[in-house]
Amino acid sequence: MSAELRLLLRDLRQAQELSQDELAHQLGISRQSIISLEQGAYLPSFPLLINMIQFFNCDLEELVEGLSQNVAQLPSVAELAIQSIEQPATRPAAGAINVYETAIEYEVQVQAPGFKENEIHLEFSGDTLTITAQTSIDQREAAEKLIRREWECDSFTRQVRFAHPIDVDQVEAKLADGMLTIHTPKVEPVKPKIKKIEVKK
């Protein structure tokens, strides 16, 4: 932690007569983290800083001493807002597959959140379906400043090998709500010819 910046966490905690365990529980962190923060081992992350401000209902200046001498070290209001976004819940894994079989077809479902139709390519070779997808890299004007990046582009390749011959000309694929659904009709089995054989004397 900077020698000129001091986190006033202990003062605020004691003013509210909270133990380190109680504050750790309220902020969703460990007691050891509270101890380290109060000892000045490091500054809190921006999301944690926002949580502290909201919990103690105080201004940033009341939580961190020495701001006026360290303005350059502080994030902008926009950066604080962006970096206080909670981490998303576990998102569907791009390329995760479910395969269903009926008497007439296989249905392949592929998780493809964030992908567009023209970014997904399907190819059949023999009895194997290959699914390839790659998102486009987001291009921005040079004047725009990136203040948080959690993704840039995504891609996956999956192969499905079918145990039954597929009528490739009848395969259909549809992308909706981040789910790619592929219908792969089975080739109708050729019915064996029945021929009666006359038994001769």
Q: Where are the domains of the chain?
A: 6-83, 97-136+153-185
CATH 2.60.40.790 matches 97-136+153-185: yes
Pick 111 or 189 by higher pLDDT.
Answer: 111
Spell out the long-range contacts of 143-150 with Cβ–Cβ below 8 A and sequence spacing 24 or more.
147/76, 147/78, 147/79, 147/82, 147/83, 148/79, 148/82, 148/83, 148/85
Residue 35 Cα distances to 7, 26, 29, 40, 175, angstroms: 12, 15, 11, 9, 50
Assess whether pLDDT exceeds 50 at residue 86: no
Nearest Cα to Cα of residue 59 among 74, 42, 39, 37 = 74
Name the CA radius of gyration of the chain, rounded. 30
Q: In this structure, which topology does domain 6-83 adopt according to CATH?
A: 434 Repressor (Amino-terminal Domain) (1.10.260)
Is 0.75 topped by the overall pTM? no
Amino acid letter for position 62:
E
| Confidence at residue 152, expressed as pLDDT on a 0 to 100 scale | 62
Rounded to a whole number of angstroms, the distance between the first and last alpha carbons of the chain is 107
Name, in order, each residue with C-beta under 8 angstroms of 86's C-beta and a sequence gap of 6 or more: 47
Asked if pLDDT for residue 135 goes beyond 60, the answer is yes
Q: What is the pLDDT of residues 11-35, one digit of tens each?
A: 999 998 999 989 988 888 888 888 8
Q: What is the pLDDT of residue 46?
A: 72
pLDDT at 107: 96
Q: Is the dihedral of CA 116, 100, 184, 123 positive or negative?
A: positive
- CB-based contact 185:105 (threshold 8 Å): yes
- The mean per-residue pLDDT over the stretch 116-141 comes to 85
pLDDT at 77 over 60: no
Is the predicted pLDDT of residue 63 greater than 90, yes or no?
Answer: no
The CA–CA distances, whole Å, from 152 to 25, 140, 171 equal 34, 12, 32
Average pLDDT taken over every residue of the chain: 80
Strand partners, 82: none
Tokens of 181: 């659904």
C-alpha 80/C-alpha 155 separation (Å) is 30
What pLDDT, on a 0 to 100 scale, did the predictor assign at position 196?
Answer: 81
For residue range 164-196, list pLDDT tens digits in order: 889 999 999 999 999 999 999 999 877 777 888
CB 4, CB 70: distance < 8 Å:
yes
